[in-house]
Amino acid sequence: MVVKRKTVAVIGGGVSGLAAAKAFDERGHRVLGFERSHDFGGVWELSRSYPGVQTQSAKDLYCYTDHPMPDDWPEWPTGPLVHAYLHSYAEKHKLGPMFRLNTNVERMERCAKGGWTLSLETKGTRWSEYVDFVAVSTGQFSDKNIIKHAGRDGFVQSGGTVLHSSEYTDTAVLADKRVVVLGGSKSATDIAVSAVKAGASEVVWVYQKPMWRVPYYIGGLINFKHVLYMRAQELQFNAWGRTGLQKILEGLFRPLVWANFRALEMLLITQLGLRELHMIPEEPIEETVSCSTPVVTPGLFENLSAGAIKPIQGTFDRYEGKNIVMTTGDTVTADVAILAVGWKLGVPFLEETEKAKLIDEDGQYRVYRLSVNPDLPDMGFVGFNSSFCSVLSAEMVANWLVRYMDGQLENQPSESAMREDIDMTLAWKRTQRRAAKVYGGLCSAPFHFKHFDELLADMGASKLSHANPLSENFSYPDYKTYRECLASTPQYHAE
C-alpha cells in the first residue's frame, strides 16, 4: 500500500515537539513546526528555568534512543545542559528549518474535507495554514498556573514581590530577603533550598500535605532508578486491563507486595527523618506513585532539620500588607513570595465544541494510548503521556502516532475499539487507581513498561523486550533496548 505524503503541523518545540518532528519527517511527511517562544526547549528554555533546576530522572532515562547524553555529564543534568542537549538533537536531525519560532497557534478549525486550518500569529502578523494532520506537542507544562490570593496588590504596593516559580531566574533577588515558597512539588523544594543558599534571611515553605518523596539514592547507596523503574516493581502496582490470571496472581502475592512497600516506606521514613519532622504521608506509597511523585531536593531535609527552612502545612489564605496569612492561622512577614504551583494543562487553540469531545467534566482526557481521540480525527498528542522517562515516552508515542495517521499500525484500532478502551481506562482511573488521575489522567507512570508494550505491539515490533529475562524484569527502561525495538517495527516511507 502506498502511503501518501501529508503536511503535518507540530505545535510546540520542546522535548515532545522535537520527537514528533523527527518521527513524521523520518516517514517522509512535510513538517511545519510552530513554537511560540524564541527558542527550542519548552520547559528547559533558559528564560523559563529557575536557578539550579535539574532533571528528576537519570540522564540515561532522559534521552532520545538515538542520541544519548555525554558520558561525562552528571547523572542528573542541569537545566542548561538539557537545553543544550535538545539543541544538539535538533541539529543532528536538521529539525530547526522545520520550525517557525515566536509563532502562536491561536485557533484550530476542522475542515469538512478533513484536516485542520490553523490560525497563526507572529509579531502582529496573522495568517492561516491548512494541514492534513496536527501533532499537538505542547506537553504538560505549557501555561503558568496563576493563583491570586486576596490582598496581593496591597502586598506588592507595600514592597513585596510575587513570582511564579518560572519567573525566579536570579538568586540575587533573594539575598537578605524573607522568602515564602508555596507548593509541594520538587520545584518548590528546589527553590526553598536555593533561597537558603542565596542568603535569604528567612525561608518558609508552605505545602498542603506530606507526600512520599524519593531520594536520588535510596538508603544513601542505590540509585532510585534501580528500585522504582524496573518491571518487577511495576508489576506490583494495580495496572489497568488485568486478565483473570493476573488478578489471581495478584491476590496470591498481595502479602509479599504489601511487605515490600511497607519496607520501602520505613526506609524512606528513616533515611529522611520524616517522623521527627512530622511529615509521614497518610496514604500508602503504592497508592500514590504517579508523575507527580517528587524526587528529594538535595539539602531539603537537612535544612528542615536544622531549622533553615521552616515548614507550614497549609496554604495561603490572603495577604495583609507585607504579611501572608495562612489557612492555619499562621502569619508570616515576607519580602518575596514564590508560587511553585505548577502549570495549566490545556489545548487553548481548540474550539470549545472540540474540547468537550476531548475532556470530561472531571478534567480527565478521553484519549487512546494517551495520544488520540476517535471523535477528533486528523490530530493527536505527543508528550501528553507524561512519565518518569518523558523523553523516551514522547519518542515512543510519536512513532506510534505517525503510523496511526498513515494506517500503518499492525493493530490499527477501530473507532469503537478506541472508545471501549478509553472507557475502560477512565473507569480504572476513577475507581481503582485515583493517583492515575493527575495531569488529566495523562500519566503513564509507574506503568512505563506496560505503556511501551502496548505501543510496540500496535506498531508490530518483532523485538519487544530484553533478550535476558533478568535484565527485562530487573532493569529500568533502557533507551538502547527501545532503539532496537523501534528498529524492529515495519519500515515505510510516504510518497
pLDDT score at 49: 82
pLDDT score at 469: 84
pLDDT band at 289 (very low <50, low <70, confident <90, very high): very high
Residue 1 has pLDDT above 80, yes or no: no
pLDDT band at 416 (very low <50, low <70, confident <90, very high): very high
pLDDT score at 466: 76
CA–CA dist 235, 98 (Å, integer) = 41
pLDDT score at 365: 97
Q: Which three cell numbers stand for residue 152?
A: 496581593
CB 105 within 8 A of CB 349: yes
pLDDT score at 144: 84
Range from 43-57, 110-124, 167-181 carrying the lowest mean pLDDT:
43-57
Range from 59-68, 194-203, 237-246, 398-407 carrying the lowest mean pLDDT:
237-246
pLDDT score at 139: 81
Residue 84 has pLDDT above 80, yes or no: yes
pLDDT score at 16: 97
pLDDT score at 179: 98
Q: Which 3 state secondary structure label does DSSP give 152?
A: helix
Q: Which 3 state secondary structure label does DSSP give 359?
A: strand
Question: Other CB atoms closer than 10 Å to residue 20's CB: what's the count?
Answer: 33
Residue 142 has pLDDT above 80, yes or no: no
pLDDT score at 101: 97
% of the chain exceeding 70 in pLDDT: 99
Angle, CA 60 vertex, CA 345 and CA 210 arms, to 5°: 50
Give 397's contacts (C-beta < 8 A, 6+ positions apart): 369, 370, 371, 381, 382, 383, 385, 455
Scored b (16 or more CB within 10 A) or e, 474-486 reads ebbbbbebbbbbb
CA–CA dist 232, 475 (Å, integer) = 9
pLDDT (tens digit per residue) in 442-491 = 999 999 999 999 999 999 999 987 778 888 899 999 999 999 999 999 99
Element of type H or E holding 405: helix 390-406
Q: Which three cell numbers stand for residue 454?
A: 502496548
CA–CA dist 125, 416 (Å, integer) = 42
Residue 71 has pLDDT above 90, yes or no: yes
Measured in degrees and rounded to the nearest 5, phi and psi for residue 260 equal: -60, -45
pLDDT score at 65: 98
pLDDT score at 346: 86
CB 167 within 8 A of CB 42: no
pLDDT band at 145 (very low <50, low <70, confident <90, very high): confident
pLDDT band at 183 (very low <50, low <70, confident <90, very high): very high
Range from 69-73, 270-274, 340-344, 394-398 carrying the lowest mean pLDDT:
340-344
pLDDT (tens digit per residue) in 377-415 = 999 999 989 898 999 999 999 999 999 999 999 999 999
pLDDT (tens digit per residue) in 5-31 = 999 999 999 999 999 999 999 999 999
Q: Which 3 state secondary structure label does DSSP give 488?
A: coil
Average pLDDT over residues 326-342: 96
CA–CA dist 52, 49 (Å, integer) = 8
CA–CA dist 196, 219 (Å, integer) = 25
pLDDT score at 467: 75
Residue 48 has pLDDT above 90, yes or no: no
Residue 143 has pLDDT above 80, yes or no: no
pLDDT score at 374: 98
CB 370 within 8 A of CB 451: yes
pLDDT score at 492: 97
pLDDT score at 301: 97
Mean pLDDT rounded to a whole number for the chain: 95
SS (H, E, C) 191-234: HHHHHHHCCCCEEEEEECCCCCCECCEECCCEECHHHHCCHHHH
Q: Which three cell numbers stand for residue 240?
A: 489497568
pLDDT score at 2: 87
pLDDT score at 345: 84
Catalogue the E-assigned strands of 111-262.
Answer: 116-122, 125-131, 133-136, 143-144, 161-164, 178-182, 202-207, 217-218, 222-223
Q: Which 3 state secondary structure label does DSSP give 373?
A: coil
Paired strand residues for 150: 318
Scored b (16 or more CB within 10 A) or e, 220-244 reads eeeebbebbbbbebbbbbbbbeeee
Residue 331 has pLDDT above 90, yes or no: yes
